[in-house]
Structure 1
């Protein structure tokens, strides 16, 4: 049995976990002191040695991304934190910023020093106003305490941090669309190359990292790369926050080493809800190919999940039992992707539209004989032909659902989903209204 590793979540249950004082009581800003006494090259090497990989979905080595920046040329360079968490099912960065925002702020300061940045940006999803306000307050605390601003800790290092609220577009979770949005333009993916490391924000060298990636830097620096590599697997080092939602007894955030299995996590979550069995689940949010009960023992690390046919992604584990219609679930996801497509490229703009039309027919029991083949053909014309990963992500639930549950799609040619799978059986809460007299 793999144990949980509460590090970023260690003091979430403290009375006022989000305050600077609580963070200082838990080794807060000690790593920044250590970092400011090191060379920038050593910090980048430390990130590489730790094996830390991006916690935003792609899993790209963090230290390698830092190392891609060209040599200083006297101009500015930037750190941008992607806090635009909007993948359906993903809910780790938002609670992290709510419960312990100073992990992120200290990580921003350390990373900025490592890459030679004097102005960092945190791009927060616009709908989460409460998170935006809490993060702003934490930044104010850090400025007042001398952890940000001029001459940090008396070392001569200057850093300003700007917290920016987006306007609520899923596409702005893609790093280049985020940069365009941050510059005041419409959020749409850029053509690459050039990559952000060469020409990013304001056409200057830029590092774009996820919230959890940056928040993991202070504990790694404080306790050492070997400590971090002591958790996880050989190629997927360290810990991560796994977000369990859906039909488990205790949904929530479970911080554990990479390589833990869903079977272990479900046991920690009190098992499936009473009397029900696992039917399908997402290992990394709705844009990753779905898994079934046969994948319960797949280690949740980047390599093992990929070998099994999916992606670890954001570790958003959406759990569905046998009462749920796969066609209905996938149709709702496709509604989301069709709505959020920025429209810049034809395969994604047109493809998601037609996926939505076909899925809606199947959902309502009005499918035609060729619909399943057409679905797969449309997915084939989207996959690998879009500017960014939104198009690819939209195809993942469709193709994997047809692979594992083709018979349910065939049922959609004559039976509406609500007949085959009465919705009252899948709800998590009692929907009966009680009237007091």
Structure 2
């Protein structure tokens, strides 16, 4: 059984030239592909189902079940799309995986394509990370040259082509249907469902869309068996995963561990909180999920889908942003909502207009100019935004607002008379020495 400190996905990250195909093959790379090609596609899908692998992109939907939704009688071509548009605030697990071990992902793509009957696959990667795009493209060329991609791979009779497609830097394209529109050359906006991508995805054909980490986990499952993978993690959240730990901790970074590890354990692995710090609040899965506090019941809860759900939050992308007692909840909430306002695609009125109004109120409160009823207005706006849009961006935008008021209402009440930067001087919470920007006047806030 793999324990907390025995890496699987990140096992070769420290190797010299870990991204080279020679190093990957030396460690046993592409052996799982050979094993998979000797199996029936249906048996591969059942293996992934039995392993209990759930999507690592945020929703946690069972991967094998998603694959089984592809209609067998549909005559149209089938496609696999890997969602590598990692842009959730605080999340940084897919990018280092692709940089350090791109062939792990490529092998997973080939096996997954064979399982669902796809002969063309796409890796949709965030446009800003040019260095990662180049690393992936180089790895794809190596895979073609070695006979792992292309026609009749490994003399199996199976053909597969892989395209690395760079997006244009829109957070909304992390939503799978907006990603499909962008991949097809259109403006990235969420689609109305049904039809779902399994029936009508890219080019109107059956499509499976999975996160990078989900697909990269497939080779180890094929190589070691479903029972091996299911022996890690918790009863309903199986396997190992990558957690992104950041914020006021001594050693931020990526930590691979079985599902169900606690934040307390991860902070200990990260060297503890920075000197003089006490954990005040944190995000289990990036800024799109409700925040939790430093209470024992929260930091000792298992970091799996059920454990976070039991505390009215979500595991999300496993981006653990930790904030200490020097941090203003009002200011943090404002910064997150500003992000969602900026990244809203504008398709849905509640999201487009509602996030703008949330920012206006929070800007006023950050400056200590809150008005009676502002807290109730924030909650009312949130109620009219969440669940009323094509995608989950609106839900993520209000999750931080409602949970922040729930756990730290007194700070929002203090915003009626005292600026956040006076209650919590920003230079004390900054990770670096540079003086952070602050709004200091009514003119900067605007007459809202």
TM-score, structure 2 normalization: 0.95
Kept in 2, the 8 Å contact 1:383–1:395? The answer is yes
Q: Which residue of 1 aligns with 2:304?
A: 301
Number of positions where the alignment pairs a residue of Structure 1 with one of Structure 2: 431
1:342 aligns with 2:345: yes
CA shift, 1:254, in A, is: 0.3
| 8 Å Cα contact 2:76/2:206 also seen in 1 | no
1:190 aligns with 2:194: no
Cα offsets for 1:345-396 (capped at 9, x unmatched): 1111111111111111111111111111000000000111111000001010
- Contact conserved, 1:5 with 1:239, CA < 8 A, in 2? no
Separation in structure 2 between the aligned mates of residue 176 and residue 73 of structure 1, nearest angstrom: 20
CA positional deviation for 1:416: 1.3
Rounded to whole Å, the distance in 1 between the matches of 2:350 and 2:5 is 42
- Structure 2 residue aligned with 1:331, among 306, 330, 334? 334
Tell me what 2:116 maps to: 115
| Superposed counterparts of 1:391-410, under 5 Å | 391-410=394-413
Distance 1:385 1:73 in 2: 32
Comparing 69-78 with 391-400, which one deviates more in the overlay?
A: 69-78
Matched position secondary structure for 2:160:
strand
* Cα drift, residue 431 of structure 1: 3.9
Residue of structure 1 equivalent to 2:31: 30
User: Is the counterpart of residue 378 in structure 1 residue 381 in structure 2?
Assistant: yes
Provide the residue aligned with 1:80 in structure 2. 81
TM-score (norm 1): 0.97
C-alpha separation between the residues in 1 aligned to 2:6 and 2:255? 9
In structure 2, distance between residues paired with 1:9 and 1:369:
51
CA shift for structure 1 position 430: 3.5
Report the 3-state secondary structure (helix = DSSP H, G, I; strand = E; otherwise coil) of the residue aligned with 2:280: strand
Aligned residue for 2:99, secondary structure, equals helix
Aligned residue number for residue 435 of structure 1: none
Supply the distance in 1 between the matched residues of 2:292 and 2:24 (Cα, whole angstroms). Answer: 38
How far apart, CA to CA, are the structure 2 residues paired with 1:385 and 1:157?
44
Q: Is the 8 A contact 2:4 2:256 kept in 1?
A: no
Q: CA offset at residue 413 of structure 1?
A: 1.4
Q: Per-residue displacement from partner, 1:179-224 (whole Å, max 9, x unpaired)?
A: 0000011100000000000000000000000000000000011000
**Distance of 1:99 and 1:369 partners within structure 2:** 52
Mapped to 2, the partners of 1:288 and 1:404 lie a distance apart of 14
- Note the residue ranges of structure 1 that are not aligned, 5 or more in a row: 433-437
Alpha-carbon offset, residue 121 of structure 1: 0.3
The structural deviation recorded for 1:73 is: 3.4
Q: Aligned equivalents of 1:22 and 1:427: distance in 2?
A: 40
Distance in 2 between residues matched to 1:274 and 1:325, nearest whole Å: 19
SS in 2 for 1:240: strand
Q: Name whichever of 240-249 and 14-23 sits farther off.
A: 14-23
Tell me how far 1:135 sits from its aligned partner.
0.5
Query: What is the SS of the residue equivalent to 2:422?
Result: helix
CA contact (8 A) 1:261 1:300 kept: yes
Partner residue, 1:287: 288
Partner of 2:126: 125
Runs of 4+ in 1 over 6 A off after TM superposition: none
RMSD: 0.9
Alpha-carbon displacement from aligned partner over 1:49-86 (angstroms, at most 9, x marks no partner) = 00000000000000000000101433211000000001
Identify the residue that residue 425 of structure 2 maps to in structure 1.
422
Does the 8 A contact of 1:4 with 1:257 survive in 2? no
Equivalent runs, 1:179-218 vs 2, <5 Å: 179-218=180-219
SS at match of 1:150: coil
Tell me by how many angstroms 1:310 deviates. 0.2
Is the CA contact (8 Å cut-off) linking 1:56 and 1:313 kept in structure 2? yes
* Separation in structure 2 between the aligned mates of residue 399 and residue 217 of structure 1, nearest angstrom: 37
Determine the C-alpha separation between the residues in 2 that align with 1:429 and 1:119.
45
Work out the CA distance in 2 between the residues paired with 1:5 and 1:278: 27
The equivalent residue for 2:46 is 45
3-state SS, counterpart of residue 158 of structure 1: coil
Unpaired stretches in structure 2, ≥5 consecutive residues: 436-448
Contact 1:146/1:153, CA 8 A, preserved across alignment = yes
- Cα distance in 2 for partners of 1:19, 1:322 equals 44
Q: State the match for 2:358 in structure 1.
A: 355
C-alpha deviation, 1:429, in angstroms: 2.9
